[in-house]
Amino acid sequence: MRILAVLALLSAGLASISAPPRERDWAEIAGPSRAELPEPLAAVRWRTDVAKSLEEARASNRPLFVTLRCLPCKQCASFDAAVLEGGRELDPLLAQFVTVRLTDASALDLRLFPVEGFQDLDLSWWGYLLSPQGQIYSIFGGKDHVSDATRISTAALANTLRAVLEHHYDPRRASWDVDGAPPALDGAAPTPLSLMGAESWRKRPAGQSLAKDGCLHCHQVNEILRQPALDAQRFDKHRELDMWPLPENVGLVLDRDDGLRITRVEPDSAAARAGLRAGDRLAAAGERKLFGQADLRGVLHRGPRGAGELVVRAWRGAELVIAKLELREGWRATELGWRKSIADGNIGAVPGFSWPLEVKPAERAKRGLSAGKMAVKPWFGQDSEHLPAYVAGLRAEDVIVAVGGQSPDLAQREFMAWFRLRYEPGDEVVLSVRDARGAGREIRYRAPAPGG
């Protein structure tokens, strides 16, 4: 019954996001603030107890800034350090918030942090900006296939913090009703480990490793969310993984540090057809007020799965323009190779050896391997003689130049994600390889399941 209650809460929260919009004065809501900020706190202090921090926020009428950081993961480590350090750019703003830092996803209260709809779980750092009642004002964070710095910066965070403060302290805010209903926080907190897929997931190798270090990583929450569909054999890799579209998916290139200013509109894109222009500044989308780029990405993530429409509002000088983005089938597709929950997760099959190592250019040239084509060295690790690819004849000195006749230039995590998206356990794998002397051969075997 507890699991059903958790799912009901999550469904209700997401349903409220997509509820039919009522008439709102967006020019007022997204226009100049009438906020008067109080005196900042004496110092920035990073708390670790969310419940007590909510009580403090209610007593002082301050918004909360909650960061979630997966400590073992390297990505976003430098940004996390910059936020903790604060400095002249961030500290004056952070001192206006009740600041909280969490480092273990297993303790997340899903009523306050509805991660499935609001957080890209393949990132290791996120910031939630909440009202004292637990409503989500804004989300800050972001990454893409290029790096963990192409979507976020301290300047962008400062702009988002400032915008949230102006929103929170605007005396008209309550009448706008744009922040959603406060979550009901009575009773025990539902957490990722209380979700339907958690019990089954914990029987898998990744779930068993949780007992060793005690830390649930964000990408593992993604795996838990997918586990029920995998168990029921109804997980659609092509439809279920079209997550967290970029602004570029609808034709928008945004200034990273500003977060909402459009620097370019791609020709013949949904944004171009809707009339948006470079220089416009986004204000709202999908009936959500926007405070930064991640808020737009959240709206896109929760948007149509296929073809559909999305209403965007943007400032063009002093005019608030309305743009209706007509989204075509397939509009959500993005690069997936960087995502740990795919490359190392619980979907698809694994290639039958431990890890695909990149062959460096010098060795490619020495061995006569083509540039721009696949060149992967298999790493087997311990107990190599039991791995299917080794049993079939693959050796560490071999170079894989094609899989199933395909030869994209991929290695390491990108190769793993590519393989898992194309193969299921039991599928036949055909490797085209070259040995140390340059002689070619084919190796055939059945793809094992993750952990197999």
CATH number at residue 142: 3.40.30.10
- Contact criterion met (CB below 8 Å) for 100 and 53: yes
Residue 39 · residue 108 · CB < 8 Å:
no
Q: How many domains, the chain?
A: 3
Q: How far apart are CA 125 and CA 62, in angstroms?
A: 23
**Distance between CA 441 and CA 145 in Å, rounded?**
33
Task: Please give the biggest Cα pair distance in the chain.
Answer: 76
**C-alpha to C-alpha distance for 226 and 201, rounded to whole angstroms:** 9
CA 56 to each of CA 43, 47, 49, 97, 169: distance values in angstroms, whole numbers, following the listed order:
15, 11, 11, 10, 17
Does residue 200 form part of some domain? Answer: no
β 281-285/288-289 pair status: antiparallel
The CB-side HSE value for 65 (13 A sphere, CA atoms) comes to 26
Rg (the chain; Cα; Å): 24
Same domain, 393 and 439: yes
- Residues 276 and 178 reside in one and the same domain: no
pLDDT at 211: 52
Domain boundary among 193, 208, 234: 193
**Is 27 domain-assigned?**
yes
Are 41 and 173 in a shared domain?
yes
Q: Is residue 209 a part of any domain in this protein?
A: no
Structure token digits, residue 280: 């416009």
Instruction: Report how many helices (DSSP H) and strands (DSSP E) the chain contains, helices first.
Output: 18, 15
- Quick one: 145 and 270 in the same domain? no
| Secondary structure (3-state) at 99 | strand
Do residues 92 and 185 both lie within one domain?
Answer: yes
Could you identify the residue written with the tokens 């795919």? 342
What DSSP state is assigned to residue 406? Answer: B
Three-state DSSP class for 311? strand
Kindly state whether residues 282 and 406 are assigned to the same domain: no
Residue with tokens 């898998």: 204
**C-alpha torsion 190→191→194→195, nearest 10:** 100
CATH number of the domain bearing residue 407: 2.30.42.10
User: Strand, helix or coil at 107?
Assistant: helix
Same domain, yes or no: 40 and 159 = yes
C-beta of residue 141 within 8 angstroms of C-beta of residue 123? yes
Q: Using the 3D structure, point to which of 327, 361, 393 is the last residue of a domain.
A: 327
pLDDT along the chain (452 residues), means of 10: 43 46 88 97 96 97 96 83 95 98 93 95 95 98 93 97 98 96 94 94 77 78 95 91 97 98 98 98 97 98 96 98 97 96 94 96 91 96 89 96 97 97 97 94 96 72
Q: Answer yes or no: is 19 within a domain.
A: yes
- Domain annotation covers residue 240: no
| Distance, CA of 283 to CA of 423 (rounded, Å) | 42
Closest CA to 357 of 381, 340, 341, 335: 381
- Asked whether residue 370 falls in the same domain as residue 308, the answer is no
Is 363 part of any domain? yes
Among 175, 193, 211, which residue terminates a domain?
Answer: 193
Instruction: Based on the fold, state whether residues 300 and 370 are members of the same structural domain.
Output: no
> Rounded to the nearest 5°, which phi and psi values hold at 332?
-85, -10
What DSSP designation does 434 have? E
C-alpha to C-alpha distances, 43 to 49, 67, 87, nearest whole angstrom = 18, 17, 12
What are the structure tokens assigned to 68, written together? 């979630």
Neighbours of 34 (CB within 10 A): 12
Is there a domain that residue 221 lies in? no
Cα–Cα dist 259/141, whole Å:
11
| Residue 100, beta-bridge partner list | 47, 66
Identify whether 218 is part of a domain.
no
Residues 188 and 48 in one domain: yes
**pLDDT confidence of residue 213:** 63
Amino acid type, 188: A
Q: What is the DSSP letter of 164?
A: H
Predicted local confidence at residue 16, as pLDDT: 42
Amino acid at 106: S
How far is residue 395's CA from residue 7's CA, in Å, rounded to a whole number? 47
Examine the domain organization and report whether 110 and 251 are in the same domain. no
Q: In 3-state terms, what secondary structure has residue 63?
A: coil
CB 425 within 8 A of CB 452: yes
How far is C-alpha 417 from the chain's CA centre?
A: 16
pTM value?
0.91
DSSP state of 89: H
Quote the strand ranges of 220-292, DSSP E: 252-254, 262-265, 281-285, 288-289
CB 349 within 8 A of CB 419: yes
CA angle 270, 276, 282 (to 5 degrees): 105
| Burial of residue 259, with CB atoms counted within 10 A of its CB: 0-12 exposed, 13-18 middle, 19 or more buried | buried
Taking each helix axis as running N to C, give the angle between helix 87-94 and helix 154-168, from 0 to 180 degrees, rounded to the nearest 10. 20
Residues 176 and 31 in one domain: yes
Residues 267, 264: Cα–Cα separation, whole Å: 9
Q: Which domain holds residue 296?
A: 247-327
